[in-house]
Amino acid sequence: MLLAALLRASGIPARVVAGLLYVNENKDIFITAWVSAYTGTWIFADLSHDCFPAWRDRIPLVLDDDGDKIHRHARVIGRTSVTYVKR
């Protein structure tokens, strides 16, 4: 939320994204949030995982401009189940 606010204060459109992060080495799925910023195209940045651009291993579920959607969808995201299937 802080990164989105700082980007907006600098005149860069930004959204908070809630979704799932797949950690390949452990085959783990985590619920997390990151930022989508508009710089001609929308790009993801995830400072909590030191990742820019953050496009790999992420499944966006909720795009939120003001924080309300994430709070309303948090219970659904928290009950999301993902199964790893090796091809």
Range(s) of the domain holding residue 9:
2-78
Residue 48 buriedness (CB in 10 A; 0-12 / 13-18 / 19+): exposed
> Maximum CA pair distance of the chain?
45
Higher pLDDT, 30 or 49: 30
How many domains, in total, are found in the chain?
Answer: 1
Does a structural domain hold residue 86? no
62 vs 69: CA distance, rounded Å: 7
Whether the per-residue pLDDT at 8 is higher than 80: the answer is yes
- Residue 17 near residue 62 (C-beta atoms within 8 A): yes
CATH of the domain at 39: 3.10.620.30
**pLDDT digit string, tens, across residues 35-70:** 889 989 888 888 776 666 666 677 777 777 766 666
Q: Is residue 85 part of a domain?
A: no
